[in-house]
Amino acid sequence: MTLMTNLEHVITADQHAELLANNENVMICCGRMGPMCVPVYAAMEELREEYPNVKFMDMLFDSPEAGVIRNAPECVGFMGLPFTMYYKNGKVVKATSSIQSKEQIKEILDENFS
């Protein structure tokens, strides 16, 4: 099952690992189609063209496969969806939870992927 977004979807933990191994800069928003998540997906869709060096993906929070994000040490203590992970060369450089504005996302992208 996938989210109803225009982003590319991460479906399995294996696909997640492959994505990180083959892409230098990756942003994955792990959530549902809820009021805190949808604005983040929309911002990601808008930012894709501005940041061609970043792979923007989503992952369904309720999938058992999303344990690779839900159970990540960086997400311990997160309360609100979505869990958003930023990876550089396969390593987590930033993790956020709950709604983020386009400006907040740009700040993280600029700080970590410029």
Round to whole Å and give the CA distance between 42 and 46: 6
Tens digits of per-residue pLDDT, 86-102? 999 999 999 999 999 99
Q: How confident is the model at residue 114 (pLDDT cuts 50, 70, 90)?
A: confident
Span 5-41, pLDDT tens digits: 999 999 999 999 999 999 999 999 999 999 999 999 9
Peptide bond into 35 cis (omega under 30): no
- All domains of the chain in start order, with CATH: 8-113 (3.40.30.10)
Q: Model's pTM, two decimal places?
A: 0.97
